[in-house]
């Protein structure tokens, strides 16, 4: 796979983006069943025509992604939704009213026109309306629902800049629209609304607590941690978000215990001749004096800042060619649930 990957730098704060020549060129390539990477408010997505099985197969191939992992269709207006789903349950109406456009993906019963490959053969389809002017302009200009997983090689940390996309996919896709760094930094929350109770299939930018405020009740799918069943959502199966070095998550009853455990593990690894990385926070990074590559991912008192920098930091460890990474852990609840979901996947479930 070797093709020229075009690069467009697009100012994403100017009105009328869909009329920009760069957007029009990217939209035309999408209509010709080529693949285009573009920014959303969460991470960069790798977009293709969501109505064509052949194009969806190209997405799987470009990413090296397992084909039983469904994709999310991105839309720009309600008319597109009605063309894709057979029913919009009341739960869906309430959640769309509260959180669309935004980092919330909803799983609906699908109509027959949706590419079978996009839904991995399921009778449901995952759909969201991104809250990013460039993404919305591209969808509107293409006049297509765009199937778009994260724009990285499968298993790698998701991209939050156009440069991250090029590191993984240059020569494998038709183009990259650069709209600057993304804002949220972790993917959308995925919620199945086909049952009586909304079921979170992947934690993300919208928290369970926010959803419960709208629906009154919310459940967490145990399949988030299972490798057995066919996944109904991206991110439910396989190792994801992983840096190249072996990653270990370190717990502690207190922050002092956690940092002490990291220091001890890092010291042993250096004695074994390994280059060590430590994922820390602004509150703790001074605790790690030694021959270590220490990178901060935000502030413990502001977990949104941690989510925003998480994938960037994992890719920085790759740039530093570390052999092993010891990562601080965070309290679950709110956006902390999404952070720990991504860290657990990145570490392959390895805890000290």
CATH number, domain with residue 26: 3.90.870.10
79: number of Cβ within 10 Å: 8
Tell me: is residue 189 an annotated ligand-binding position: no
Question: Tokens at residue 149, please?
Answer: 């997983």
Tell me: is residue 263 an annotated ligand-binding position: no
Tell me: is residue 182 an annotated ligand-binding position: no
Q: Are residues 26 and 175 located together in one domain of the fold?
A: yes
Tell me: is residue 128 an annotated ligand-binding position: yes
Task: Find, among 84, 65, 61, the residue nearest to 74 by Cα.
Answer: 84
Q: Are residues 68 and 118 located together in one domain of the fold?
A: yes
Tell me: is residue 5 an annotated ligand-binding position: no
pLDDT digits (tens, 9 = 90+) for 62-117: 998 766 678 999 999 999 999 999 999 999 999 999 999 999 999 999 998 787 88
For the beta sheet containing 276-280, the strands, ordered from the edge strand earlier in sequence to the opposite edge, are 246-250, 324-328, 276-280, 292-296
Q: Are residues 186 and 269 located together in one domain of the fold?
A: no
Tell me: is residue 233 an annotated ligand-binding position: no
Task: Find, among 237, 6, 22, 39, the residue nearest to 146 by Cα.
Answer: 39
pLDDT band with cut points at 50, 70 and 90 for residue 224: low
Q: Are residues 210 and 293 located together in one domain of the fold?
A: no
Tell me: is residue 60 an annotated ligand-binding position: no
Tell me: is residue 124 an annotated ligand-binding position: yes
Tell me: is residue 150 an annotated ligand-binding position: yes
- Look at residue 241 and tell me if it is in a domain: no
Q: Are residues 220 and 303 located together in one domain of the fold?
A: no
Count of domains for the chain: 2
* Domain containing residue 133: 6-225
In this predicted structure, what is the pLDDT of residue 238? 46
pLDDT band with cut points at 50, 70 and 90 for residue 227: very low
State the Cα–Cα distance between residues 335 and 243, nearest whole angstrom. 21
Query: CATH number for the domain including 301?
Result: 3.40.50.11030
User: What is this structure's pTM?
Assistant: 0.92
Tell me: is residue 119 an annotated ligand-binding position: no
Q: Are residues 124 and 11 located together in one domain of the fold?
A: yes
């Amino acid at each position: 796979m070797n093709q020229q990957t075009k690069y467009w730098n697009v100012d994403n704060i100017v009105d009328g983006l869909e009329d920009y020549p760069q957007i029009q060129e990217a939209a035309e390539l999408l209509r010709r069943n080529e693949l285009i990477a573009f920014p959303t408010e969460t991470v960069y997505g790798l977009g293709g025509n969501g109505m064509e099985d052949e194009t969806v197969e190209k997405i799987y191939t470009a990413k090296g992604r397992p084909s039983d992992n469904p994709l999310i269709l991105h839309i720009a207006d309600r008319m597109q939704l009605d063309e894709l789903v057979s029913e919009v349950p009341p739960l869906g109406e309430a959640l769309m009213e509260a959180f669309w456009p935004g980092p919330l993906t909803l799983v609906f019963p699908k109509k027959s026109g949706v590419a079978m490959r996009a839904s991995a053969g399921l009778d449901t389809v995952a759909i969201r309306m991104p809250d990013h002017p460039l993404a919305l302009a591209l969808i509107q200009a293409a006049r297509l629902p765009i199937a778009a997983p994260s724009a990285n090689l499968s298993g790698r940390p998701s991209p939050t800049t156009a440069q991250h996309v090029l590191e993984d996919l240059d020569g494998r896709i038709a183009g990259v629209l650069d709209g600057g760094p993304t804002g949220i930094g972790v993917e959308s929350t995925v919620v199945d609304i086909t049952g009586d109770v909304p079921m979170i299939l992947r934690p993300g930018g919208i928290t369970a607590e926010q959803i419960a405020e709208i629906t009154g009740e919310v459940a967490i799918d145990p399949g988030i941690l299972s490798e057995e069943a066919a996944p109904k959502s991206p991110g439910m199966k396989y190792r994801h978000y992983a840096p190249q070095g072996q990653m270990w998550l370190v717990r502690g009853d207190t922050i002092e215990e956690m940092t002490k455990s990291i220091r001890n593990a890092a010291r042993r690894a250096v004695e074994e001749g390994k280059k060590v990385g430590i994922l820390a926070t602004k509150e703790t990074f001074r605790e790690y004096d030694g021959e270590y590559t220490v990178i901060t991912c935000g502030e413990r008192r502001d977990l949104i800042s941690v989510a925003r920098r998480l994938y960037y930091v994992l890719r920085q460890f790759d740039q530093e060619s570390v052999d092993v990474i010891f990562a601080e852990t965070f309290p679950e609840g709110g956006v902390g649930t999404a952070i720990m979901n991504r860290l657990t996947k990145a570490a392959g479930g390895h805890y000290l």
